[in-house]
A and B are shown apart, each in its own frame.
Chain A
Amino acid sequence: MNTLKAKKRNEAFGRFITFLCAILVIIVTFSLVIFIASKGLTIFVKDGVSPIEFLTSTKWRTEANPPQVGALTFIIGSLVVSIFGILISAPVSISSAIFMVNIAPAWGQKLLQPVIELFVGIPSVVYGWIGLSVLVPFIRNNIGGLGFSVLAGGLVLAVMMFPTIASVAADALRAIPEELNEASLALGATRWQTIRRVLLPAAMPGLLTAIILGLARGLGEALAVQMVIGNAMNIPSSLLDPVHTMTSIITMEMGNTAMNTLPNDALWSIALLLLAISLVFILLIRFIGKKEAYK
């Protein structure tokens, strides 16, 4: 009897603790969203900046009088660098995942898994520093331009996206029932045909999720990108042009602007925009996750 009571008490205690933690996390999340939203909307509500100007103008002079708050340069910069990064990273990462899961499950996994984990463990400042010390001079001396460029930023991001995309893609491929593979092979398809025609389409929702997560990783990365893109208020016309991103303008100007002034609030608006973009990504992932490629 007594032990049963004790068990019950334990049960209730465990439930209470986990419930409390869950509530705490949810409160923190909500608080963050509300805080960023209230700060980010200040320039539109209090200072009367039009959201359309914010999204479509390239003039960023927040300390001028009257202030100009156009974030388009940064939005384009972020998108260009991240998408370029994805274009390089996605094929490589997904191929690695296929190799690891379908082609050489035994030793491929043993070799690649630690590599992916190692990539995750390297801090972003180190990636940025390597980019600044190796990649930037290499591009300047061998390809052209200043070295600080979309190319350098995209390459650094591609490496940083790799572990995210590869591990999520590998999970998606592993989740495919073995029967699908066997059925395809039984029909006389070669391994490559099986992978291309059966496994990849079956894993497509998972692979898209992987790519979106990688893209989110790229858009959110600040330090490493800032160190190699040159931070020019410039709409890039080539891969060798320097650009500015949403994250880099925040890190560059936050220390130089005072809280509760327009130049500072304008940075919060960019933070809000970043938050909105990741929310869209999460919704996209949810939407894709609901679709099943095979029944």
Chain B
Amino acid sequence: MKNSRKRWSILLVSVMLMLSLVVLSACSGSGDTAAPSNDASTSDNSASGSDDTSSNGSSEETAPADDLSGTVTAAGSTALQPLVEAAAAKFMELHPNVMVTVQGGGSGTGLSQVSDGAVDIGNSDVFAEEKLDADKAKELVDHQVVAQGFTAIAHKDVGVDNLTKQQLKDIFLGKITNWKDVGGKDQAVVVVNRPTSSGTRATFVKVAFDGEEPIEGNTLTEDSNGTVLKTVAETPGAISYLGLAYLNDTVMALKLDGIEPTVDNIIAGTYPIWSWGHMYTKGEPTGAVKAFLDFMTTDDVAEIARQKNYIAGSDAAKLK
């Protein structure tokens, strides 16, 4: 009796194992096939959507000439997110039949999701080649329509508002550990980093630290712009770096070699710490996705970008 029950339970467990394997392989299998079907559905949407508008011609409040419709989904870089969100809102005003959703998640998430076909646009602070396998990165098309500036920030009471590039580098590499060594107060420096995989950090390492990684050890790491701001605002002697779009007056933006970190100075070419924001699509974009990416280069967006401390439209063209 007892024996048979035992055998029964062993059988049951092995059946479960098989079933879970089936479930799993089904899941991973669908990831590969999702891409083409998703592409198809987007183009379908725009096609069927145009029929909708023509039959709906009686409704006056929708722009009559607008035959653009469908959905656009974008995900990825949180540094880019505020601008893309604002641009999407404006775009939807102009094209009421288009639904644009913008999510964060980080550059890596954006790139893997666009590569899997889960979203139409993957926003990234870094080149796809730096995150994805070479063959996967090759499938993606880079649209460099936005530039974003970055600035070093410090706690308000450090007594310095300007650093030379060498001083900045020495601080993050751990060679300068007290603010008095750069003309400030006698206050220990507290370095606040982003995680090693962060796009913001990658830009700083490349442009400001000449490719050298900042010190680890007794430093803090915060994973979002919000927590970086809060930490630097509250920790005496703290220094970190941030996208210009997130800067507010709870912290002090540090001038670099006497140059203020502003959009104007980046466009003028005097302030060096900025990078392209990449909007990746899988293959050449079509329909609403293409329209949205084209819209990102217009001066409508350039104006939104200026308000939010990004560089887009004709301003971005000057940087190329």
Chain A residues with CB under 8 A of B230 = 132
Nearest CB to that of B215 among chain A residues?
A233
Chain B residues with CB under 8 A of A126 = none
Q: Are A232 and B115 in contact (CB under 8 A)?
A: no
CB distance from A293 to the nearest CB of B (A): 28
Q: Are B222 and A231 in contact (CB under 8 A)?
A: yes
* A147, B132: Cα distance in complex, Å: 37
CB distance from B10 to the nearest CB of A (A): 14
Q: Are B24 and A231 in contact (CB under 8 A)?
A: no
| Interface residue B317 (Cβ < 8 Å from any Cβ of A) | no
Partner of B221, one of A23, A232, A254, A260: A232
Partner of A257, one of B131, B223, B231, B236: B131
| Interface residue A63 (Cβ < 8 Å from any Cβ of B) | yes
Please provide the chain B residues from 213 to 235 with a CB less than 8 Å away from any CB of chain A in the complex: 213, 216-223, 227, 230-231, 234-235
Partner of A231, one of B20, B111, B221: B221
CB distance from B118 to the nearest CB of A (A): 10
Partner of B235, one of A146, A232, A257: A146
Q: Are B221 and A146 in contact (CB under 8 A)?
A: no
Chain A residues with CB under 8 A of B116 = 259
CB distance from A18 to the nearest CB of B (A): 15
Q: Are A230 and B24 in contact (CB under 8 A)?
A: no
Q: Are A148 and B112 in contact (CB under 8 A)?
A: no
Q: Are B197 and A232 in contact (CB under 8 A)?
A: no
Nearest CB to that of A32 among chain B residues?
B20
Q: Are B133 and A261 in contact (CB under 8 A)?
A: yes
A257 with B108, Cβ < 8 A, contacts A63-B197, A146-B190, A252-B195 known? yes
Q: Are B106 and A232 in contact (CB under 8 A)?
A: no
CB distance from A149 to the nearest CB of B (A): 10
Q: Are A241 and B218 in contact (CB under 8 A)?
A: yes
Partner of B197, one of A26, A38, A257: A257
Chain B residues with CB under 8 A of A136 = 234
Q: Are A251 and B223 in contact (CB under 8 A)?
A: yes
CB distance from A143 to the nearest CB of B (A): 14
| Interface residue A3 (Cβ < 8 Å from any Cβ of B) | no
Q: Count contacts on A: residues with CB < 8 A to the other chain.
A: 43
| Interface residue B109 (Cβ < 8 Å from any Cβ of A) | yes
Which of B20, B111, B227 counts the most chain A CB atoms within 10 A? B20
Please provide the chain A residues from 125 to 153 with a CB less than 8 Å away from any CB of chain B in the complex: 132, 136-137, 140, 146-148
Q: Are B108 and A137 in contact (CB under 8 A)?
A: no
| Interface residue A253 (Cβ < 8 Å from any Cβ of B) | yes
Please provide the chain A residues from 228 to 276 with a CB less than 8 Å away from any CB of chain B in the complex: 230-234, 241-242, 244, 249, 251-261, 263-264
| Interface residue A57 (Cβ < 8 Å from any Cβ of B) | no
Q: Are B131 and A255 in contact (CB under 8 A)?
A: no
Q: Are B21 and A34 in contact (CB under 8 A)?
A: yes
Q: Are B218 and A260 in contact (CB under 8 A)?
A: no
Please provide the chain B residues from 95 to 117 with a CB less than 8 Å away from any CB of chain A in the complex: 104-109, 111-112, 115-116
Q: Are A263 and B197 in contact (CB under 8 A)?
A: yes
Q: Are B220 and A258 in contact (CB under 8 A)?
A: no
| Interface residue B198 (Cβ < 8 Å from any Cβ of A) | yes
| Interface residue B63 (Cβ < 8 Å from any Cβ of A) | no
Chain B residues with CB under 8 A of A244 = 221
Q: Are B132 and A261 in contact (CB under 8 A)?
A: yes
Please provide the chain A residues from 194 to 231 with a CB less than 8 Å away from any CB of chain B in the complex: 226-227, 230-231
Partner of A232, one of B24, B131, B219, B231: B219
CB distance from A80 to the nearest CB of B (A): 15
Chain A residues with CB under 8 A of B92 = none
Partner of A230, one of B131, B132, B197, B220: B220
Please provide the chain B residues from 1 to 42 with a CB less than 8 Å away from any CB of chain A in the complex: 16-17, 19-21, 23-24
Chain B residues with CB under 8 A of A227 = 227
* A135, B75: Cα distance in complex, Å: 34
Contacts A232-B220, A254-B108 supplied; 7 other A-B pairs, CB < 8 Å: A23-B16, A31-B20, A137-B234, A231-B220, A233-B217, A256-B106, A260-B112
Using a CB–CB cutoff of 8 Å, the interface residues on chain B facing chain A are 16-17, 19-21, 23-24, 78, 104-109, 111-112, 115-116, 130-133, 190, 195-199, 213, 216-223, 227, 230-231, 234-236
14 A-B interface contacts by CB (under 8 A): A30-B20, A34-B20, A61-B196, A230-B220, A232-B217, A233-B217, A234-B218, A242-B218, A244-B221, A253-B195, A253-B197, A255-B108, A256-B197, A258-B111
